Amino acid sequence: MEDNLKDSTLHEADGLPTNKRILAIVAVVLAVTIAVMDGSIANLALPSIARDMMATEAEAIWIINSYQIAMAVFLLPLASLGEVVGYRRVYLVGLVLFIIASLACAVSGTMVQLSLARVLQGMGAAGILSVNTALIRFIYPRKMLGRAIGYNALVAGTATALGPTVAGIILHFSSWHWLFLINIPLGFIAFFIGLKALPLNPLSKRKFDTKSAAVCMLFVGLLLYSVDAIGHVEGLQTVLVCIVFTVLSLLVLLKVQSKSAPMLPLDLLRIPMFALSIGTSFCSFAAQMATFVMLPFMLQNHLGMGAARAGMLLTARAYRCSFDRRCRRQAV
């Protein structure tokens, strides 16, 4: 009890001291960079991985799907868990899992093994990204919080844009295995710095809602699988069954989740501006991800480009999108 009181008093401080804050931000930037970059870095390698493992293009896409689906499924439960056991603990455990999964990806010999390893990697990325912004609240003083969140968004955007370039350079000089092996030294650096510098946070007195977390994971997984079933035209019966189970899981979640700390706060969608922002973000992100998955196959398999040149073209597109957003922000 004395330890809890001591921790509570410690966390009331307004951010970390400057020297410790720099170390904490280095740990956050490194971990966020490898977690976000891995969402796009493997896209460029899909054609070569498919050839090496004698898989079809449709099967190779599961290298991306398994990572993104696992990350989405675990994101909300791990964010809730961070309030109970501590954001720092969730962050560091997620980072360790990400490192181990990266090694598993590199040594995978079949498409099934690689896809399963990417699931574990997505779980680790969810541990990093689910509590990333929450940690920033305790790293920076309140007066710098807006700037800190802006820096965090800049890191995520830059990592996404650099993904194709890094992938192109690695694939030009080495095999696709190094796309995952590069995460290991960077992950260890982020882990040991984070172990020393990341702040603790006041723990919530409520217990972790295991039931709501399980149902939330089921709902998100079914929702994404339903979208995938529609995209792959798996038949009307399959799609309808997926949709029915998705709706049922959502209804169960709304019934069992806590009213004071809901796992999925859908009431926020009653705010028109919030609902519009979520809708446009979802559509924009879905379109961008679809493009990033399809373009490597078109550029390499159909236009005969090398991985390095294809990576530069994909990077140019990402930077142009970033430039357009900056221009629109200045215009407003």
The pLDDT of residue 11 is: 45
How would you write the pLDDT of the chain (332 residues) with one tens digit per residue?
434 444 444 445 577 787 888 898 899 889 988 888 887 777 777 888 888 888 887 778 888 888 988 998 999 899 889 888 999 999 999 999 999 999 999 998 888 899 999 999 999 999 999 888 888 888 888 888 777 887 777 787 777 777 777 877 888 788 888 989 999 999 999 999 999 888 888 888 888 888 888 998 998 888 888 877 776 666 778 888 888 988 999 899 888 887 777 877 777 778 888 788 878 877 776 776 666 666 666 776 667 776 666 666 666 655 555 555 444 444 44
Q: Sign of the CA dihedral 37, 269, 81, 224? A: negative
The pLDDT of residue 141 is: 86
Q: Which residues of 123-144 are buried (b: 16+ CB within 10 A; e: fewer)?
A: bbbbbbbbbbbbbbebbbeeee
Query: Which one, of 16, 47, 40, lies nearest residue 302 by Cα?
Result: 47
The pLDDT of residue 309 is: 67
The pLDDT of residue 293 is: 63
Query: Which one, of 40, 2, 9, 18, lies nearest residue 200 by Cα?
Result: 9
The pLDDT of residue 308 is: 62
Query: Which one, of 308, 103, 107, 69, lies nearest residue 186 by Cα?
Result: 103
The pLDDT of residue 192 is: 94
Rg (CA), the chain: 21
DSSP string, 3-69: HHHHHHHHHTSSS--HHHHHHHHHHHHHHHHHHHHHHHHTGGGHHHHHHHTT--HHHHTHHHHHHHH
The pLDDT of residue 41 is: 79
Say what the pTM is: 0.79
Q: Side chain identity at 270, as an amino acid letter?
A: R
The pLDDT of residue 313 is: 66
The pLDDT of residue 186 is: 92
Class of domain 2-207+273-331: mainly alpha
